Amino acid sequence: MGLTAIWRRDPWRWLRWGLGLWLNPVLPTMPLGTLAANLIGGYLIGAAVAVFHLNVDLSPELRLFFITGFLGALTTFSTFSVEVVALIQRAEYGWALGTASAHLFGSLLMTGLGIVTIHKLAL
């Protein structure tokens, strides 16, 4: 499989990687690339959940493929976990708590915002 095939198959992973390259140097203590990927992914997952809720004729397989496959490749719990554990290992407890809180509450907020956006557009 060539690089073109990998790119076509996993564009969201490449986006996540690019966000890290672009944003992580901005604030090295809190990797903003991973946070941005999770917040964008949370918003898009919320929007997708609302679209599938409003369009019951769409198959559960399509929902699984889109939300878990495509958008799951953008969001990253494992990278977030490693980054928070690294902060704890360096005894940067405030940054660890702030990073974990930003990911958790930010993702919940963005997922809700994605759902609300689609419901407002559907009216």
Q: Which residues span the domain enclosing 57?
A: 3-122
pLDDT digits (tens, 9 = 90+) for 44-91: 999 999 999 999 999 999 998 889 888 888 888 888 999 999 999 999
- Helices 93-122 and 77-89, interaxial angle, to 10°? 160
Query: Quick one: pLDDT at residue 69?
Result: 82
- The pTM for the full model equals 0.85
30: left (phi over 0), alpha (psi -120 to 50) or beta: beta
Query: Quick one: pLDDT at residue 9?
Result: 60
- The stretch 1-19 carries a mean pLDDT of 68
User: Looking at the 3D structure of the chain, how many domains does it have?
Assistant: 1
